[in-house]
Every structure is written in structure tokens, then in C-alpha cells.
Amino acid sequence: MTKYIQTIKDYNSILLNNPKKLIIVDFFATWCGPCKKIAPTIEKLVKMYTKTCIFIKIDIENITLEPIVTAYNVNAFPTFVFIKNSSIIGSMTGADSTKLEFTIKKYI
């Protein structure tokens, strides 16, 4: 299941409590066409990688989460950030389903 982040505290809690899992952060906007296009693929990947990954979504329009969006220098959507042991290990921008799955497999 994808987790929708509402507060910075929620975000930090996921990072701290899941050091061994790959965390995929999906920065999206509700009005973003490519974000909507890749959403079904993300849900498929969530089911496939539920034991090794945590998928979280951050709505870039949620003003409460602006510090996270700024910290990761997100300026295009969707942007995916890959985190392990609370450290960024990679990122990608765009709605390329094949590249997203390849990148997840690479970092697991």
C-alpha cells in the first residue's frame, strides 16, 4: 500500500523505522498528467515489492511538506527519490514505467 505523507513527522518516522527497506518517494501533483499516467504502474509495483520496499507519496502542493520538496530540489513531476538507511541513493524524473521498475530492482 502506498503511504500518503501529511506531515514532516510522518516522513521522518518512515525513514527512521525502516532502515533496511528501499523507500521510494513519489513527488507528485494532483493536476500532473504524467503523474496520473504512471499511478497504475506504481500500484502494481507496490504489490510486487511489498516485502522489500516502502512507497510513499508527497503532494508537492501540500504546504506543510514544502521543506521536503525543497530539500530534494524537486522541480519536475513526477520525481522519484530512492532512499536506503536514511540516505538518498538515487532519483529519477518522469513517468517512464520501465525505467522506474529497473531502478527499483537496481537498488533493492
3-state secondary structure the chain: CCEECCCHHHHHHHHHHCCCCEEEEEEECCCCHHHHHHHHHHHHHHHHCCCCEEEEEEECCCHHHHHHHHHCCCCCCCEEEEEECCEEEEEEECCCHHHHHHHHHHHC
Mean pLDDT of 15-34: 96
Q: Give the residue numbers marked as catalytic.
A: 32, 35
Q: Is the pLDDT of residue 65 over 90?
A: yes
Residue 1 has a pLDDT of: 75
Residue 78 has a pLDDT of: 98
Q: List the domains of the chain with CATH numbers.
A: 3-107 (3.40.30.10)
* Nearest one of 37, 53, 48, 18 to 95, comparing CA atoms: 37
